Amino acid sequence: MDGGPLDASQLLKGVLDLAVLAVLAERDSYGYEVLRQLRESGLPGVGDASVYGTLRRLYQAGALSSYVVPSDEGPHRKYYGLNDGGRALLARSAEAWFTVTDAVSTLLDGMEARR
Amino acid sequence: MTDTTEVARYAAAVRAALADLPAAERESLVGDLEQHLAEVGAESDVPLDTRLGAPEAYAAELRVAYGAREPGKPAGRRLYRGGVAVIVGAAVVGGWLVVSKSQQLSGGGLRWINILMPNLILLLLIIGFLYYMWARAAGRRGGGA
């Protein structure tokens, strides 16, 4: 830590796995579409390499399944989806996320109220 | 749409920037990079360098996201651990050879070595095992998975 204020990109680094898993829980998706959905959700600072690297790591860790969908017009697309391991990982990670964010929100609310 | 030579050039530059990673790790990280970049390229005519930044920066971001080793950190750390494990193994085998040899030569006459060596070998085995467990745990931490 350099003592500077937390910015969104720093926070995101720790939770990109969770965000990517949440996108894939909606429906199977390919790399660029995951990136677009994250940006549309209000995370414009996410980089393509971060999403691609995260997908590869989650895949290697056995949390995702993958398959290629051929396309006549564009390139073939590699879709990723959650498998049972990925769903379990998402459930556990979401629980941890809510525990932390609830606690921090309570602390911040208390600070606001005392102002 | 970005053409395939542009994709190939960019992907090759990213791979080159990750050249210090072990081949297996690099493949699991960028094994289908061309396919991914083709998907990205299909969305727009803007050059990949403009959309994604320089290949070297892309590679650096990949490293962080994937949890791979940073460049400059000793690539030989895992090798070093493997080397020590080999030395411990060699000491165990060597010790065993010395014992069997000395038993042959002395016909059991060097009793102290017959008592000492099995214990020493056992000790080396335990040290080797503990070291292996530690190296594995440290490797996992270092890998950041």
Instruction: Give A75 to chain B, closest Cα distance, Å.
Output: 6
- The yes-or-no verdict on residue A78 having pLDDT over 70 is yes
Average pLDDT over residues A61-79: 90
pLDDT at A107: 95
Contact A17, A59 (CB under 8 A): no
B64 in contact with A, Cβ within 8 Å: yes
Token code pair at residue B139? 């490797």
Average pLDDT over residues A82-100: 96
Contacts of B65 by beta carbon, 8 Å cutoff, 6+ apart:
A16, A49, A50, A51, A52, A53, A54, A57
- The yes-or-no verdict on residue B113 having pLDDT over 90 is no
Per-residue pLDDT band for B145 (boundaries 50, 70, 90) equals: very low
- The yes-or-no verdict on residue B70 having pLDDT over 70 is no
- CB-CB neighbours of A34 under 10 Å: 21
The DSSP H or E segment spanning A64 is: strand A64-69
Average pLDDT over residues A84-110: 95
Closest to A49 (Cβ–Cβ): which among B35, B41, B61? B61
- The yes-or-no verdict on residue A28 having pLDDT over 70 is yes
Phi and psi angles of residue A66, each rounded to the nearest 5 degrees, phi first: -145, 150
β-sheet with A29-30: strand ranges across: A29-30, A77-82, A64-69
ipTM of this complex > 0.90? no
B44 in contact with A, Cβ within 8 Å: no
Q: What is the pLDDT of residues B118-138, one digit of tens each?
A: 777 788 888 877 877 777 666
Token code pair at residue B34? 């061309």
Chain B residues whose beta carbon lies within 8 Å of the beta carbon of residue A50: 61-62, 64-65
B73 in contact with A, Cβ within 8 Å: no
From residue A66, alpha-carbon distances to A50, A58, B35 in Å are: 18, 11, 13
Dihedral in degrees, nearest 10, Cα atoms B60, B62, B66, B71: -20
Specify the range with the lowest mean pLDDT, choosing from B10-19, B26-35, B69-78, B85-94.
B69-78
pLDDT at B87: 66
Q: Where are the alpha helices (DSSP H) in chain B?
A: 4-17, 23-30, 33-41, 48-52, 55-66, 77-106, 111-143
Chain A residues whose beta carbon lies within 8 Å of the beta carbon of residue B41: 75
β-partners of residue A69 are A77
Please classify residue A52 by burial: count the beta carbons closer than 10 Å to its beta carbon, then call 0-12 exposed, 13-18 middle and 19+ buried: buried
Contact B30, B37 (CB under 8 A): no
pTM: 0.66
CA distance B60 to B66: 10
